[in-house]
Amino acid sequence: MQLFLNKKMGSNIRKAAVLTAAIVSMTVASASWADNITVNYNGLTGSSGKVNPHPNGAYFGGVSAGLMTFAVQSGPSMWGSNLQAFCVDINTWLVTGQNVTYDIVSANSTGGLSALALTQVSWLFDNHASALSGSNSDKTAFQLTLWEMLFEGQEKIPFNLETGNFQAQNFGTPITTANTWLANAPTIAGGVSNQWEFYVLNPKDPVNNQRLITWREKPKDPNEISEPATLLLLSAGLGMIFFSTRRSGAQFASLA
């Protein structure tokens, strides 16, 4: 009888442990995501304007600044047939005339953004995402704000596009708009957006290509397991272990 009860207890524990392991696996799987995505630059459309960075900066000459849409040739279905992105680099041109493949990674993972940059990008989207569907001037201001945050960091506070390592000159309204936004931007890392997820596209083929940043609204699928729900399921799995062993122990005591 003792052997039978031990086997039954072991079976219950194994069942609960398998459930718990599956829940832990889902938690780990939902915490990170990375894949390749191939885009066609011939399918590129832009909503931008020309900006002249300061000649003492990393980039010389005029550069387009603004929101771009790329035609997706292959990649995760979550991006559909088009991908909107902003440039991360200012000293590397986009490769055109061919399909280009990127490693696309979560902004808070290796190859993504620093903690401070992620905090600042989160703030920018949370407060000024309306610019994404606004005028070309607003989209250009959005790009300039991103560049100022990424290339100035904590080296120059307060932010200002007319001083420091990255400067944009002779472009009027977008610079004024960007400086207005930057006046309230966070300068210390702490917190990320509750509404948006951010991803960095790192050049893979060819590698001498411009990095990009893209985003999506955090999923609101009722079937998606959120972090609190995952923890609840994990607790349920542990509870099964406890009650299974307790019930088996009670059965053993009554038989004794």
**In the predicted structure, residue 252 carries a pLDDT above the cut 50:** no
Is 109 or 225 the better-scoring residue by pLDDT? Answer: 109
**Of 88-102, 156-170, 193-207, which has the strongest mean pLDDT?**
193-207
Please give the C-alpha separations between residue 13 and each of 5, 31, 32, 50, 233, in angstroms, as whole numbers: 12, 27, 29, 65, 16
Contact status, residue 50 vs residue 62, Cβ threshold 8 Å:
yes
Whether pLDDT at 18 is above 80: no
User: Whole-prediction pTM value?
Assistant: 0.71
Phi, psi of 194 (to 5 degrees): -90, -10
Among 162-171, 199-208, 239-248, the minimum mean pLDDT is found in: 239-248
